[in-house]
Amino acid sequence: MLTSAISTTEIQNTLAAQKNFFDSGATQSLSFRREQLQKLYDAIVQNENEIFAALHADLHKSKFESFGTEIGLVLGEIKHTLRKLATWMRPQKVGTSLFHFPASSYTQAEALGQVLIIAPWNYPFQLLFSPLVGAIAAGNTVVLKPSEIAENCSRLFTRIVRETFSSEYMAIFEGGVEVSQSLLAEKYDMIFFTGSTPVGKVVYQAAAKHLTPVVLELGGKSPCIVAADAPLATTAKRIVWGKFVNAGQTCIAPDYIFAHKSIVQELIAELAKAIEAFYGSNIEASPDYPRIINEKNFNRLVQLISDEKIVYGGKADKAALYISPTILYPADAKDAAMQEEIFGPILPILPYENLESIVHFIRQRPKPLALYVFSKNNKTIDYIMQNTSAGGCTINDTLIHLANDNMHFGGVGESGIGGYHGKSSFEAFSHQKAITRRGLWLDVPLRYPPYNRISLNSLKWLFKNVM
Ligand code: NAD
């Protein structure tokens, strides 16, 4: 694991140089921002094979999965941003009250300034570079902190960033908790953090010292509801894909299933069928099935498997950091796997009889990052959507609401604060400055003291009818 130490002086010198660079106005023009986005795009394409190799070394990810869930998403986001940036940067005209006549109003996005981006290890490429696209687009200088746990990725991304950008514009610091805390001790204009809810609280406290705005992309237990009328073969394939991609180490993976009791057995059979169709009967030999990131997480996950509830899988090999796709049934709220975010290839299934009980269960717990429902019945879907809260939802599939640059992605409550992707990323890293421009050719004196030009009743009439 990476433990490289960096000194406070090194961080402070870098931030001082970045402040000078930002204050020079160099990052403000559309052409500069577009140029940096293109440089990032080109650097990713040039280093694609090295990125594949690092993701494989850290997580045993296949090239297909690495491109589909990491590299491709970031390249797509850069293209989308390059296409839309000029429009996003334009002032947005808004209405103005007649009271202020003659005047017009508009909002203008301005860069926040110096931003810090801290990333986790599970999608080490996507979760470092996707927020970076927004930070560049909005005209900020950036400090990046990749996760020390995906160490091959961390080393490679540090090289790529240092070869591509000057540190007065974009700096990257490798390391673990200590480095992260040294970085957090300094003042930024915005902090973008992706990681666990407990560390999110540490980041929020550090930010509060300087009143720094944050985006916190956190985790939690994301439920997946399978109603009695769901077509089970397709439902099972879509759940297996979303749950076992990256061996379950996905923040929005279905964490557990609520299945209607009338279809549970059939669903389990279909899930098993889908797992073997995807990864074969010797899953350990599949090139498409990733590994657990490290021994610490392996040990944590093994503890969550209650042997007596295993209805599929349950194989684990510590030397290979392999845990097979594992289904637990009948799970209940007291199980170890139901006490914390699983973040691995373990899928508890809880039977349910009525939707009211599910809604009650979900509402008693922290608001999830994602929620899934499989049903053909609009009433069932609407009932769940209207009576539960979650960062985002996909109906009749899993994960895909994340991969839409036209929608914001983020949590709610304990699963996060703020969001990003596409225009939302640009907005997350910008301040919307509100500007009213007044004409000088007319100056109605009614608002000036002494307040005897009109009566209070006339003022009330104006507020009611003119405002
Ligand atoms: P983590 O919170 O342990 O670490 C995230 C980052 O914070 C790393 O760079 C790490 O070095 C740093 N860090 C760790 N402890 C710290 C501390 N005490 N003080 C300051 N910095 C610290 O998370 P992780 O294990 O890398 O990732 C898994 C978690 O992230 C899961 O909970 C998952 O749901 C969540 N996650 C959320 C999203 C999302 O988009 N909402 C995406 C991926 C992962």
- Assigned token pair, 216: 């916190």
| Model pLDDT, residue 153 | 98
Residue in 330, 376, 385 with CA at minimum distance from that of residue 353: 330
324 within ligand 1 shell (Cβ under 6 A): no
Q: Where are the beta strands (DSSP E) in 52-172?
A: 92-94, 103-111, 114-118, 141-145, 170-172
What letters, b where the CB count within 10 A reaches 16 and e where it falls short, cover 278-309?
A: bbeeebeeeebbbbbbbeebbeebbebbbeeb
- If you take atom 14 of ligand 1, which residue's CA is the nearest one? 177
pTM score, whole prediction? 0.95
| Model pLDDT, residue 4 | 54
127 within ligand 1 shell (Cβ under 6 A): yes
199 within ligand 1 shell (Cβ under 6 A): yes
Distance from C-alpha of 3 to C-alpha of 315, rounded to nearest angstrom: 32
Of ligand 1's atoms, which has the minimum distance to the CA of residue 415? 41
368 within ligand 1 shell (Cβ under 6 A): no
194 within ligand 1 shell (Cβ under 6 A): yes
Give 414's strand partners.
none
- If you take atom 42 of ligand 1, which residue's CA is the nearest one? 251
| Model pLDDT, residue 1 | 47
Residues in the chain: 467
CATH topology of domain 223-405: Aldehyde Dehydrogenase; Chain A, domain 2 (3.40.309)
Q: Which residues are catalytic?
A: 217, 251
Contacts of residue 153, Cβ cutoff 8 Å, sequence gap at least 6: 51, 54, 55, 58, 121, 124, 125, 146, 147
125 within ligand 1 shell (Cβ under 6 A): no
52 within ligand 1 shell (Cβ under 6 A): no
Taken in order 73, 77, 80, 83, the sign of the CA dihedral is negative
Instruction: List per-block mean pLDDT (blocks of 10 residues) for the chain, which spans 467 residues.
Output: 71 98 98 98 98 97 97 98 98 94 97 98 98 98 98 98 98 97 98 97 98 97 98 98 98 98 98 98 96 98 96 98 98 97 98 97 98 98 98 98 94 98 97 98 94 95 89
Of ligand 1's atoms, which has the minimum distance to the CA of residue 198? 2
Distance 202 CA to ligand 1 centre (A): 11
Q: Quick check: 215 and 192 in contact, CB under 8 A? A: yes
- If you take atom 35 of ligand 1, which residue's CA is the nearest one? 195
Distance 217 CA to ligand 1 centre (A): 9
Distance from C-alpha of 65 to C-alpha of 310, rounded to nearest angstrom: 27
176 within ligand 1 shell (Cβ under 6 A): yes
Helix (H) or strand (E) holding 427, with range, is helix 423-428
Q: Quick check: 223 and 371 in contact, CB under 8 A? A: yes
Distance 460 CA to ligand 1 centre (A): 54
Q: Quick check: 381 and 395 in contact, CB under 8 A? A: yes
What are the extents of the domains in the chain? 8-218+418-430, 223-405
118 within ligand 1 shell (Cβ under 6 A): yes
- Assigned token pair, 168: 């007065």
Helix axes 72-89, 30-46, angle to 10 degrees: 170
- Assigned token pair, 381: 């879907």
- If you take atom 22 of ligand 1, which residue's CA is the nearest one? 177
Distance from C-alpha of 412 to C-alpha of 252, rounded to nearest angstrom: 13
Q: Quick check: 110 and 401 in contact, CB under 8 A? A: no
Distance 199 CA to ligand 1 centre (A): 6
Distance 414 CA to ligand 1 centre (A): 14
Contacts of residue 150, Cβ cutoff 8 Å, sequence gap at least 6: 54, 58, 59, 121, 122, 124, 293
Helices (H), 90-221: 126-137, 151-164, 177-184, 197-209
Residue in 233, 304, 223, 332 with CA at minimum distance from that of residue 314: 304
Contacts of residue 462, Cβ cutoff 8 Å, sequence gap at least 6: 99, 454
**Which of 125, 145, 158, 194, when mutated, tests ligand 1's pocket best, judged by the most ligand atoms within 8 Å of its CB?**
194
**Which of 182, 199, 217, when mutated, tests ligand 1's pocket best, judged by the most ligand atoms within 8 Å of its CB?**
199
- Assigned token pair, 270: 């279909």
Distance 163 CA to ligand 1 centre (A): 26
φ/ψ (deg, to 5) at 147:
-75, 135
Radius of gyration of the chain (CA): 25
Distance 44 CA to ligand 1 centre (A): 23
Q: CATH 3.40.605.10: does it fit domain 8-218+418-430? A: yes
- If you take atom 43 of ligand 1, which residue's CA is the nearest one? 251
